[in-house]
Amino acid sequence: MRLADLGPCELATRARQGKLVIQTGPFSFRLQSPHALLCEGLALLYADYPVADPSAFADFQVVIGHGAGMRRWVRPQSVFSFDGHRVFEPLPAAHAYPLLEWAMNWSISSHAHQYLVIHAAAVERNGQALILPAPPGSGKSTLCAALVHSGWRLLSDELALVDLDDGSIWPLCRPVSLKNRSVEVIQAFAPAAVFNRVTHDTMKGSVTHMLVPTDQLALMHRPARPCWIVYPRYQAGQPTQLQPRARAGAVVDLARQSFNFSLLGDRGFDALTRLVRGCSCHDFTYSQLAEAMALFTAMADAPAPG
């Protein structure tokens, strides 16, 4: 069953009662919330995702509830709790949907230690994964969203899941988060892209999420082989440029950007060094999305050496 098969009333009822179980990549989430804006976002962005029976096992239970006391009515809030404990500071009720996405990311990055979890976007073409680690403001998510609408399959825009045994990258295939001017950039680049309503005045500015193309959801259980690690940086007016990056520096940087590298010990070190050894590493500067798409597509479609 797909989420769209529930209908608005059944969706709202299951969400309110904590009986909404959604599958996304290797994880299932039991979601509970009374917030109408959250259900509105789910209905749009998760319409074609599988929904399990209300009694089914879920990897994570995520509750986005009301604020306490008078905060249910006066300047109402949305509050994320996990296993009965509040995790983040309360946010305005209007922020319920982006809070849900942040809560799902937190649940995975804090508990999914069967993977090496790296703060990076990841996309796939021809079975090969491109990993895009970068700090906020680098243009990572903008680049990821454009690639998704240029013949690449989304694995994740935030969390690259590295298999500890074979090094493959597992897809999460959840909506792509965009903020501030990136929203207008992608709307102009990919007019067919579908977005949730924009939430203003969040801790990250104005935020929205982009729908994953439906045909990619059928592949949400198919991992990809990592081939490139590219550190993007948007610089207005600069030419498109791809330059080699030392592998040793990439190992150190990815260790810093991993959520659980230190927890995994030897297995984490082995997974990270194997990942970097198997990839070509680059720094990438761009200002024109069309040029960036042409470069990456040519790179992925080039015949294998030898």
Same domain, yes or no: 126 and 106: no
AA identity, residue 61: Q
* 262-273 average pLDDT score: 96
pLDDT at 85: 83
52-61, 64-73, 113-122, 269-278: least confidently modelled range:
64-73
Domain annotation covers residue 306: no
Same domain, yes or no: 98 and 144: no
3-state secondary structure of 134: coil
Same domain, yes or no: 103 and 123: no
Q: From CA 280, how far away is CA 129, in angstroms rounded?
A: 11
Same domain, yes or no: 234 and 107: no
Q: Work out the widest C-alpha separation in the chain, in whole angstroms.
A: 69
Measured CA to CA in angstroms, residue 152 lies from 146, 155, 186 at distances of: 9, 9, 15
For residue range 137-170, list pLDDT tens digits in order. Answer: 677 889 999 999 999 999 999 999 999 999 999 9
For residue range 160-208, list pLDDT tens digits in order. Answer: 999 999 999 999 999 999 998 899 999 999 999 999 999 999 888 899 9
**What sign has the CA pseudo-torsion 58, 104, 127, 152?**
positive
Residue that terminates a domain, selected from 111, 146, 177: 111
Containing domain of residue 94, as a range? Answer: 3-111
Q: From CA 152, how far away is CA 117, in angstroms rounded?
A: 21
Same domain, yes or no: 191 and 210: yes
- Mean per-residue pLDDT of the chain: 93
pLDDT at 181: 87
List Cβ neighbours of 115 (8 Å cut-off, separation of 6 or more). Answer: 161, 162, 163, 164, 170
Is the pLDDT higher at 176 or at 75? 176
